[in-house]
Structure 1
Amino acid sequence: MLKEAIYHRPKNNYAYGYDKKTLHIRLQTKKEDVETVNLIYGDPYDWQEDKWINKLIPMQKSGSDELFDYWFGVVEPPFRRMRYGFKISSGSEVIYYTERGFFKEAPNDTAYYYNFPFLNEADIFAAPKWVKDTVWYQIFPERFANGDTSNDPDGTLPWGSEEPTPTNFFGGDFQGVIDHLDHLVDLGVNGIYFTPIFKAHSNHKYDTIDYLEIDPQFGDKATFKKLVSACHKRGIKVMLDAVFNHSGFYFPPFQDVLENEANSPYRDWFHLREFPIKTEPIPNYDTFAFVGSMPKLNTENQEVKDYLLKVARYWVEEFDIDGWRLDVANEIDHAFWRDFRKVVREVKPDVYILGEIWHDSMPWLQGDQFDAVMNYPFTNGAIEFFAKENLTASAFADTITKVIHAYPSNVNEVAFNLLDSHDTPRILTLADNNTAKVKLMFLFQLSYTGSPCLYYGDEIGLTGGQDPGCRKCMVWDEKEQDRELFTYLKTLITLRKMEPAFGTHASFQFLYTDDDTNTVVYEKQTNDQRLIFILNNNNQAQTIDLSHLSLPTGTNLLTGEITHPNKPYSIEPYDFIIVKV
């Protein structure tokens, strides 16, 4: 065995409390190098006749990528504490792996073993339970629907009359959302994520002027309360976007700094490097990227912190919102986010806290800061495989397996899984307008573990390239909508709600990939149900023989036809079969 590839640490995604009774333990080994792994565990204080009393349970291989196998075990230590190690076997070779290294015989001294000191309930990652069953719908308010022309900004264009630009306005507002809530109910979504709604200069609103006021082009606070109430009556949660990393250029404290420079009482609200202040060509103060109109806020300053935490509390307390999406969350200090969580959870204990982070986010997902991050590693894998076909089937499975094992299971269950957004090209455009590819992406997204999010308009075939192209006006004329795609997506959402193994309350594992045919097979499983998903991501029909998997007889979930495990599956180009066992 290659010992250098064997890895465990008694923390984070390798050892964690899943609930108040249960621990999850993971181990990494070299791919196809190990035949069996057993978890050795016992209470550190349970000794009889100078011998430590322990148990041995088998661990299951939970997935593999191009380099490693991952092993998974579930244990309920009777006194919520344990010492543990691993018995690893390959052929005639057996080794014991503990915190102190590798041994040919199992050490009898518990000091050699990994330690999980105590399963404190307060330390368990706990996200709102409702998120597991939520299908989100992202709305860019300026482009969804214009329901009240009286609040249109100067120069508002007729709806959809031109291509979107960084500076044009079409008058989308809250009333427009209220007018079209039945569309969302019909589709089956039960959560709305709004990009920023606060007073700002731009059409995207990520340059806040006043964090405590609604932008006038969207309506007023009474209309927003009406919108939240209308959503809640329909069983739809509401999540707002908080831009706390930076303000806008016209944020009054920043305007004061520009005017008074070193004498401004707000000089420490920002990261100013020198005076006089220069905004162009490269600002001499910290900003979002190098955008001079988005000066970075100093969240370590107590006045700034108090102000932003007041904002966080206000919108939950006064408007009963259900979640916060946090823009550029990775550039703000961890201490701020810990305080943020305490403040909003004091008002509403089941508020969903979602951070915009595009990379490995374990430091933010330990139960003291965020409930989830925007799962762009998942997004990238799905886009590269289904839309662009830049990944082989096995490389795609490797990518997703890495994503799964990067976080604890209870983190994965509430991950925010998106395919596109206001920051990326739309999936239909990425797929070269091939709707069949988009359907496969939707199937994978909605049958994957976590909380999926749809970007407005994708359900009716809206196209668009990189920002600002991805921010087109929603098309409301049904004759110009892809209604077949809408119906298909509605069916998938219904299956996610009706079939226990389709959604988040089931394990996920790849069973088979074929790079020649670009075929992937994965299973979702609960204690009572098993679903096998067979996807043909290929422009040619395929006959797929899965007899080597020893699958039981089942039924086609969509047609009800009996499937026989020893009979090959015939699948059309860019199509799929779901077998229900």
Structure 2
Amino acid sequence: MTNSWVEHAIWWHVYPLGFLGADTTGADRRLEHRMPRLERWFDHLTRLGANGLALGPIFDSGSHGYDTIDHFAIDPRLGDEADFAEFIEKAHARGIRVLLDGVFNHVGRGFAPLKRAEADAAAPENAWFRRAADGSFENFEGHDALVALNHDEPAVADYVVSVMNHWLALGADGWRLDAAYSTPAAFWRSVLPRVRAEHPHAYVFGEVLHGDYVEFVEASGLDSVTQYELWKAIWSSIESGNFFELDWALQRHAGFLETFVPYTFVGNHDVTRLADQVTDARHHAHALVVLMTVGGTPAVYYGDEIGLHGVKEERAGGDDAIRPAYPVAPTADWPGEEGREVFELHQRLIGVRRRHPWLHRATTNTLSLSNLGYVYEVSAGPGERLVVGLNLSDEPLVAAGVTLAPHDWVIVGE
């Protein structure tokens, strides 16, 4: 594994357009150098205990960032390439890795090769896009503003290789591949060797919602995929009082770890926030305990580390609540007492992760299981063992040598 640095990576995941207060409707795309403001949050990131910044889209797009117009240009609402260069330099000086979000499954309507294809039926760029039976360009999941690329076209693979290598050469440390589940695994298998030939230490993982994770990783050559199964099981088992769901997910998770280390999370830019998924605030900590004590490469979505609420809605602008603006810079009274308590909990649990880096590849073994009580052992080898207890009940939990007060949690072996 050439990107062994990932074993120690803990990501703070930021959606830059929202975080920096840019207009995401496409109505105002004027140049504004917002990206340097993100540098003011490096102290916050490192105090949290993270050492990586996973950025959402930063490339020129028509609206929300996932309708890319030019993969070689920084979105003017964020700044320009000079801002990016300074940003990378300052991040690396702080020991912060930077991950970019690559949207290579589809493009926005303003994408120059698409414009050429629309203007001239004989243009070679027509081969870059899939056509429906009626001759129109196919779109992504019914979104007409997102035009699907034809991944059987060699020129598309060449283009993606050139984009990935361009930004890695400018200092990026890796890529999240948006909607990788909609892109043929064989496409990534053709692209990634050419990227790794120039940048062997880059970390590349794909957005995959469901299906056979292991098969996709092996077929695509990706380092990892998003562990949505575990994400769902964590909040759902806690909210419904059914730890059997989480136990089953962790058994499957252990199987994944035999092949690859999943990218793990309890929140991101596409889902309702944990603080709303789990309605009993006493149990928010339980979700984070699981995230930070099981195998994986964990990410904390900005706002979750201070307990923000936000519900995703299936409508225009329905993502705005989960992609809010942060202050221009941290202030002495931000984020308030409740937010600081949540932040300190994150610090405490990320500290566990830091003290036990073997957790990256650790697997779990169930010691005690009921609907409202769960005790599991997490281990990776001799001398590498913790016991985690979770209690959702109004009654004390005494099981597997662990004693827990109502609604409490514990990590034994720390």
TM-score normalised by structure 2 residue count: 0.90
Q: What RMSD in Å do the two structures reach over aligned CA positions?
A: 2.3
Match of 1:334 in 2: 185
2:302 paired with 1:439: no
1:520-554, CA deviations, whole angstroms, 9 ceiling, x for partnerless residues? 0011223114211111123x1413143xxxxxxxx
Distance 1:167 1:306 in 2: 29
Larger Rg: 1
Match of 1:543 in 2: 397
Match of 1:343 in 2: 194
Name which structure has the greater RCO, CA cutoff 8 Å, separation 6+. 2
| Match of residue 378, structure 2, among 516, 524, 529 | 524
Match of 1:240 in 2: 100
Is the CA contact (8 Å cut-off) linking 2:269 and 2:323 kept in structure 1? yes
Match of 1:173 in 2: 34
Which 10-residue stretch deviates more, 133-142 or 528-537? 528-537
1:45-77, CA deviations, whole angstroms, 9 ceiling, x for partnerless residues? xxxxxxxxxxxxxxxxxxxxxxxxxxxxxxxxx
Structure 2 counterpart of 1:424, one-letter code: V
Structure 1 segment 61-210 matched on structure 2, within 5 A: 126=1, 128-145=3-20, 173-202=34-63, 204-210=64-70
Match of 1:409 in 2: 258
Match of 2:316 in 1: none
Distance 1:544 1:427 in 2: 27
Structure 2 counterpart of 1:353, one-letter code: V
Match of 2:206 in 1: 355
* Per-residue deviation, 1:410: 4.6
Cα pair distance change 1:418/1:272, threshold 3 Å: same
Structure 1 segment 10-49 matched on structure 2, within 5 A: none
| Unmatched runs of 5 consecutive residues or more in structure 2 | 313-318
Structure 1 counterpart of 2:396, one-letter code: Q
* Per-residue deviation, 1:368: 5.7
Distance 2:157 2:384 in 1: 48
Distance 2:253 2:61 in 1: 36
* Per-residue deviation, 1:370: 0.3
Match of 2:345 in 1: 488
Helix, strand or coil for the counterpart of 1:508? strand
Is the CA contact (8 Å cut-off) linking 1:136 and 1:189 kept in structure 2? yes
Match of 2:403 in 1: 569
Distance 1:479 1:232 in 2: 26
Match of 2:273 in 1: 426
| Match of residue 218, structure 2, among 356, 359, 366 | 366
Once the two structures are aligned, what percentage of the paired residues are identical? Answer: 29
Distance 2:396 2:2 in 1: 41
Helix, strand or coil for the counterpart of 1:490? helix
Distance 1:384 1:328 in 2: 23
Structure 1 counterpart of 2:391, one-letter code: N
Helix, strand or coil for the counterpart of 2:360? coil
Structure 1 counterpart of 2:60, one-letter code: K
Is the CA contact (8 Å cut-off) linking 1:200 and 1:206 kept in structure 2? yes
| Match of residue 323, structure 1, among 168, 171, 174 | 174
Distance 2:213 2:387 in 1: 30
* Per-residue deviation, 1:436: 2.6
| Unmatched runs of 5 consecutive residues or more in structure 1 | 1-125, 147-151, 157-164, 278-283, 547-564
Distance 1:543 1:366 in 2: 41
Structure 2 counterpart of 1:504, one-letter code: H
Match of 1:9 in 2: none
Distance 2:128 2:399 in 1: 63
Structure 2 counterpart of 1:322, one-letter code: D
Match of 1:312 in 2: 164
Is the CA contact (8 Å cut-off) linking 2:177 and 2:206 kept in structure 1? yes
Match of 2:78 in 1: 218
1:133-177, CA deviations, whole angstroms, 9 ceiling, x for partnerless residues? 21111110012236xxxxx7xxx5xxxxxxxx8568797931121
Cα pair distance change 1:569/1:232, threshold 3 Å: same
- Count of residues paired in the alignment: 399
TM-score normalised by structure 1 residue count: 0.65
Helix, strand or coil for the counterpart of 1:366? helix
